[in-house]
Each structure stands twice: as structure tokens, then as C-alpha cells.
Amino acid sequence: RGARLTLSLCPQVSAAAAVGAFPKRVKVVEVGPRDGLQNEKTVVPTPVKINLINMLSETGLQVIEATSFVSPKWVPQMADHTEVMQGINKLPGISYPVLTPNLKGFQAAVAAGAKEVSIFGAASELFTKKNINCSIEESLERFDEVMTAARAASIPVRGYVSCVLGCPYEGKISAAKVAEVSKKMYSMGCYEISLGDTIGIGTPGSMKEMLTAVMKEVPVGALAVHCHDTYGQALANILVALQMGVSVVDASVAGLGGCPYAQGASGNVATEDLVYMLNGLGIHSGVDLQKLMDTGTFICNALNRRTNSKVSQASCRL
Amino acid sequence: MGTVPSALKHCLSYQHLLKEQLWIGEPVASPPAAPHPGQESQASGLPEYIKIVEVGPRDGLQNEKVIVPTDTKIELINRLSRTGLPAIEVTSFVSSKWVPQMADHKEVMRGIERHPGVQYPVLTPNLQGFHSAIAAGATEVSVFGAASESFSKMNINCSIEESIEKFEEVAKSARNMNIPVRGYVSCALGCPYEGNIIPAKVAEVSKRLYSMGCYEISLGDTIGVGTPGSMKRMLEASVLMLHFCVVIFQMGVAVVDSSVAGLGGCPYAKGATGNVATEDVIYMLNGLGVNTGVNLYTVMEAGNFICTALNKKTNSKVAQASFNTGTIN
């Protein structure tokens, strides 16, 4: 029994709780191979990563975040970034963005064949300090170098803003701050801003408040949401974002990627569960759920772990 | 997201984090008196108060593989009684031949503490079960209908109509004794046998249950297949049919059923999860500024207790995030 709602709702309440107009199409950005695998305890061999991405390429997904050009000293799980980038089948019509934290990473990425990159900002000063040892302002200055090089090479850049609904160090984050950082990154030239609830702490009300502030500075067509399911709120938060006009949603196959801030907790929302919901809402995503589930099964076997996707759990014959 | 930070150990403990956030503040100890008709919270348009009906001890435990001893059931319910939950479904007066997990219904009913202000409904599928429940001290009962003929047949071996007739007997006796009856409609968003269920059918069954005297109708997405769109269509159909209940029900009060630790798998999809976890619902409602009167921490503790007893991991994401194997801070 997923949820039971009794009929004690009065008309105003049911109207208020009413599901509003949704976008007709949603672009699903698959972050499993990067954000997912980066946050899994088990390090996965290169051929497995390549096969994962190749299988994802067959599902109808249009964007698959492939890897991260970060020093292996910091992120050993992504040490094989060049081999992965060069080893995957790059199907036409599919984008394979990679993370590039600085100019050096950007250059390595382009040399390895990357055609799209991502940069990561944060709405929290403390998070930025702990993460990359500088202020938000300084981090954006570093990214400026990447933006300039990307522009010269005609490479699109996607911007991420972390901690949009809460920070593991600072706690509460103001919607105004999220809007400010988003605006800066958008003005710098990012074609899309992915707003990340990094610790999954947000609830539909705070999501709505944050998006309202951000949408004053960045057009909704350029916004994406990246919700973590650490507190079981991801789909509810995504639903609210869709109702407000957001039409790009990040997710991770099999819900790969735990939360580094709460041991044992879950992280990314599972792509299967997102697609199930979109299908139910009649929203076109272009993704074949069965093929996606098969891909999830593959990577979970490789990682020797159970899936975090409820849809997969319900569908597997255990 | 981004690179994994090196200064992990300096991040806030989950307790600090949760306390800091406005929406995880200490809740009011008991629910407010009946809200004003149509009263809504702030600008969100949501009710100010939502009543949570805890179904873990019955629906949850009934659908767990491990059968839990009577003492453990009583302890669980007693712990839940201290959380602020206004209603806790205790057990089921069904033949132990069908539901062995609930064989100790009499002992549980007699053994639990009864906290003032908390309702302790029990399932009573027929008149016999009803009498047995009353004899054991029950003061509220529930009857389970379904929006699917196939489900009704497979589950209780009779048609919807026949089941309604049985419930009418229960409702009549209950009325004579001033015992409130809660009605459930299963398969509201889909049936494991029939598949799609039309909203009008849900509305029709709901109306029958309401007409016989059920004070509340709980609409169950039994196999969890529903999505927000199908939920909306089903509710619209039901509300239209039951518009008159708006006058009678407490205005602005919405009610949600959930199960501590998300107890109770799905008997129709092996390995799948079942009930939504009470902790996760409360977390969301707290975040929305909706009062539930329930203390999230005490529910998490009750969840931890029963999962230990069942030797299983919690299905609540909030509990997973909070009861770390090794605290970060």
C-alpha cells in the first residue's frame, strides 16, 4: 500500500493539493556513471563502466554523465576518466558531459574527446571551503577560465549548484543565495543550471520557495533539479519542480550513489522510479523503462549490491 | 554531487541538521482542537493539521515474513502511543487460519496501554470478528472493501456486494454500541489481478461504505502502482460522490495512513516494499509546515525497536539517514 489518503479533504484542500499542469516532455539527465559510481564504496573496473554507459545509451536517455576529470588523488573511482571517455560508444543524438573542476581538467577532457562539460558551484560558503578550499566567489573565478576555454572550443557547459535546500555544514541555505549563485553561473555562460539538493533534506515547500527565487533570475527552461532521496523526499520534490515548469531532471540508474554525509543513507533518486512516475503522468521522456531496469540489474550485479530503485525491487523475481 | 569533500568529519550531525531546519522543529505535543472549516496553512494551501493513522502494528506486521511475539507487538504499540500519533491500528480480528501473524489479537488488545486521545482501531471483517473485538475491549473498528471484484474474490472469497453486506452487519451493530467504523477501499489505483481500476468504481464503493456509517474512508493504493495523476483523478471522482461528507468531516483535516519503518512488504510483488514509512511522511509534513502532533524522533526510535526485533533493515529513508552505522560527527 503505497499511500492512503482519506476523503476528509474539503474542496479547498483538494484544490490546493491538486496536481497542476506539467511539461509535456522531460529531459532525464543520467548521472549514474559519474555521480552514482563516485559515491559507491566499490570501485568498478573500466570495462564495467564502459558497458554501463553503452547499455544506458540504448535506453533512450539523451544525456549521460560519463566521468569526471578530477585528480585521482581526490576521486580514485574516476581515475580511468580518459579510458572511459575514449572507450564508450558515443551514439549520435546523445550527450556525454564530463565534470571539469578546472582548466587542467577541461583540457584533459577535450583531449579525451569530450564534447560537453560540467562545472560545480555551491550555494554555501562553508561547503565550498570544505570542498575545494576557497570561497564561492573564488570558485567562480576559477570556472571563468574553463568558460573562456569552452567558449573558444564551442563546448557547452552545464552548471551545478550544490546545497540548494540545505548544507551539511551550514544547515539552512537561503533561497536568495541559491538564486544569486545560479544567476552568476548562468551569466557566465552555462546553458543549464542543475539545482542540487545535495543532502536530500528538502521538502516540497522548500523546493517551491527555492525555485520561486531562482526563476526570477534564470529562465525555467534553463533549470534542472538534482534531488537526493536521502530522506525519501526526492519524487515529491521533483513533482513540485515539474509543476513549476522545470523540465530537466537528474537521476541515477538503480539509485546508485550513497550519501557521503550520512553513512548508510541513500543518495540519488533512481532513474527507474523517476521514469515510472513520468510515464504515469503521461510525460514523455523517451526512456525505455525495461531497458533501464536491465541496465540497473547489470550494474548492481557488478557492484554486488541491491538496487535502490523501488520499481526494480517490485519487478525483479527474487 | 561534485567532488567528495575531505572535511567530512566536520559536517553537522544529523540531529543538528534536523533541529536547525525550520521544518524539523519540535512539534506540538498534542493535535489542536478541530480546525476551522476550510482552514489552510499559510500560502501553501495545505491543511494546517494532518492526522496520521499508524498501521504498522497491523498492516505492517501482517505483511512481514517474520512473526513477532505478542510481547514485542505490545511493546511496539506502547512506544507508538508515546509519539503523539492520534490513531494506531492495533490488530485484526480475523481467523488465525488466514492470518497467523494476527492470531494473538485478543492478547494484544488486552495487553496494550490505552493512552488518552489516541484511537486504537482493529480490523473486523465480519460480525463474528466484531463481537470478538468488542469482547476484547476494542472501541473502534475497521472494515475492508475493495474497488476490484477479482481482488475481493481472491482475498475474501466473495463479491464486493457480498462483502458490503457483511460490513453492513458490522456497521449496524457498531452503530448500536456507538463504536466508530472506519472503511478501507483497497486497489484504489490499480489491482494486482485486474490491472486498471476506474475512479468511478472507487467512488461507488467509498460511497457505499460511507452510507453504511463509516466515519472515514481510507483509499488504498494496495500495490503502490499509482502516480500523482492517477491519484488526482481517483480523488476527484470520489470527492464528487462524497461532497456531502465535507459538511460532516472535520473541515481542513486530511488523514494519511503510514507504517512505522515502512513495515509490511507487498504480498503481490515479492521483494517489493509496501507501506510508506511514517517517518518519511512526517518528515515531509514537517517540512511543509503541516502540524501532525507527532514527534519524529520517538517514531524513529519505535521503528528502530521493531526492526531490531524483526532483524531487518528499516524501509524508512529518514531512519536510514539518521541511524548511521558510524556517526559522522
- Contact list in B for residue A266 (CB cut-off 8 A) is 317, 320-321
Give the nearest partner residue to B271 out of A35, A196, A318, using CB atoms.
A318
Contact B273 A203 (CB under 8 A): no
Give the pLDDT score at B40. Answer: 47
Helices B228-241 and A271-280: angle between axes, nearest 10 degrees? 40
Say if A69 is an interface residue toward chain B (CB within 8 Å): no
Contact B253 A35 (CB under 8 A): no
The one-letter code for the residue type at B322 is S
Contact A1 B257 (CB under 8 A): yes
Contact B321 A200 (CB under 8 A): yes
Contact A19 B6 (CB under 8 A): no
The DSSP bridge partners found for residue B161 are none
- Contact list in A for residue B1 (CB cut-off 8 A) is 35, 120, 160, 162, 196, 198, 226
Top pLDDT among A11 and A188 is at A188
The one-letter code for the residue type at B61 is L
The DSSP bridge partners found for residue A195 are A161, A225
Give the pLDDT score at A14. Answer: 34
Q: Could you tell me if B106 and B116 are in contact, meaning their C-beta atoms sit under 8 angstroms apart?
A: no
Give the nearest partner residue to A1 out of B221, B230, B320, using CB atoms.
B221
Contact A265 B320 (CB under 8 A): yes
Say if A266 is an interface residue toward chain B (CB within 8 Å): yes
- Helix or strand or coil: residue B181? strand
As given in the structure block, the three cell numbers for residue B299 are 517514531
What is A33-315's CATH number, 3.40.50.1370, 3.30.830.10, 3.20.20.70, 3.10.440.10? Answer: 3.20.20.70
Whether A6 shows a pLDDT value over 60: the answer reads no
- Contact list in B for residue A231 (CB cut-off 8 A) is 280, 283, 317-318, 321
- Contact list in A for residue B235 (CB cut-off 8 A) is 5, 7, 9, 14
Q: How many CB atoms lie within 10 A of CB B98?
A: 12
Q: Distance between terminal CA atoms of chain A?
A: 20
Q: What mean pLDDT do residues A7-14 have? A: 34
Which residue stretches of chain B have pLDDT < 70? 1-45, 239-253, 323-329
DSSP state of B177: T
Handedness of CA B258, A314, A17, B316 (dihedral sign): positive
Give the pLDDT score at B240. Answer: 55
What is chain A written as a DSSP string? ---EEETT--HHHHHHT------SB-EEEE-IIIIIHHTSSSPPPHHHHHHHHHHHHTTT-SEE--EE-S-TTT-GGGTTHHHHHHHS---TT-B--EE--SHHHHHHHHHTT-S-EEEEEES-HHHHHHHHSS-HHHHHHHHHHHHHHHHHTT--EEEEEE-TT-BTTTB---HHHHHHHHHHHHHHT-SEEEEEETTS---HHHHHHHHHHHTTTS-GGGEEEEEB-TTS-HHHHHHHHHHTT--EEEEBGGG----TTSTT---BPBHHHHHHHHHHTT-B----HHHHHHHHHHHHHHHT-----HHHHHHS--
Give the pLDDT score at B23. Answer: 39
Q: Could you tell me if B323 and B314 are in contact, meaning their C-beta atoms sit under 8 angstroms apart?
A: yes
Contact B288 A169 (CB under 8 A): no
Distance, CA of B219 to CA of A1 (rounded, Å): 10
- Contact list in B for residue A174 (CB cut-off 8 A) is none
Q: How many CB atoms lie within 10 A of CB B90?
A: 30
Confidence of residue A88 (pLDDT cuts 50, 70, 90): very high
Contact B256 A315 (CB under 8 A): no
Instruction: For residue A42, give how far its alpha carbon lies from the nearest alpha carbon of chain B (Å).
Output: 15
| C-alpha closest to that of A254 among A300, A301, A197 | A300
Handedness of CA B318, B319, B324, B329 (dihedral sign): positive
- Is A259 among the catalytic positions? yes
Distance, CA of A257 to CA of A235 (rounded, Å): 17
- Contact list in A for residue B39 (CB cut-off 8 A) is none
Give the nearest partner residue to B10 out of A15, A18, A130, using CB atoms.
A130
How many Cβ pairs within 8 Å bridge chains A and B? 268
CA distances from B279 to A232, B43, B300 (A): 9, 25, 6
For strands A248-251 and B216-220, give the pairing. Answer: unpaired
Say if A24 is an interface residue toward chain B (CB within 8 Å): no
Contact B17 A168 (CB under 8 A): yes
Lowest mean pLDDT among A17-26, A271-280, B243-252: B243-252
Q: Could you tell me if A13 and A271 are in contact, meaning their C-beta atoms sit under 8 angstroms apart?
A: no
Distance, CA of A66 to CA of A84 (rounded, Å): 8
CA distances from B5 to A25, A66, A124, A130, B81 (A): 35, 20, 13, 6, 41
Whether A195 shows a pLDDT value over 50: the answer reads yes
Give the pLDDT score at A315. Answer: 87
Q: What is the mean pLDDT of chain A?
A: 91
- Environment class of residue A217 by beta-carbon count within 10 Å: exposed (0-12), middle (13-18) or buried (19+)? middle
As given in the structure block, the three cell numbers for residue A265 are 543513507
Q: Which of A6-10, A126-130, B138-142 has the highest mean pLDDT?
A: B138-142
Helices B149-156 and B160-176: angle between axes, nearest 10 degrees? 70
In chain A, whose CA is at the least distance from the CA of B36? Answer: A10
Give the pLDDT score at B12. Answer: 57
Say if A232 is an interface residue toward chain B (CB within 8 Å): yes
Instruction: For residue A277, give how far its alpha carbon lies from the nearest alpha carbon of chain B (Å).
Output: 6
Instruction: For residue B212, give how far its alpha carbon lies from the nearest alpha carbon of chain A (Å).
Output: 15
Distance, CA of A89 to CA of B94 (rounded, Å): 58
Give the nearest partner residue to B280 out of A9, A231, A281, using CB atoms.
A231
The three-state (H, E, C) secondary structure of B104-153, written as one string = CHHHHHHHCCCCCCCECCEECCCHHHHHHHHHCCCCCEEEEEECCHHHHH
Give the pLDDT score at B44. Answer: 54
Task: Please give the share of chain A, as a percent, with pLDDT higher than 90.
Answer: 84
Give the pLDDT score at A264. Answer: 72
Distance, CA of A34 to CA of A31 (rounded, Å): 6
Give the nearest partner residue to B2 out of A3, A18, A131, using CB atoms.
A131
The one-letter code for the residue type at B64 is E
Distance, CA of B327 to CA of B324 (rounded, Å): 5
The one-letter code for the residue type at B37 is P
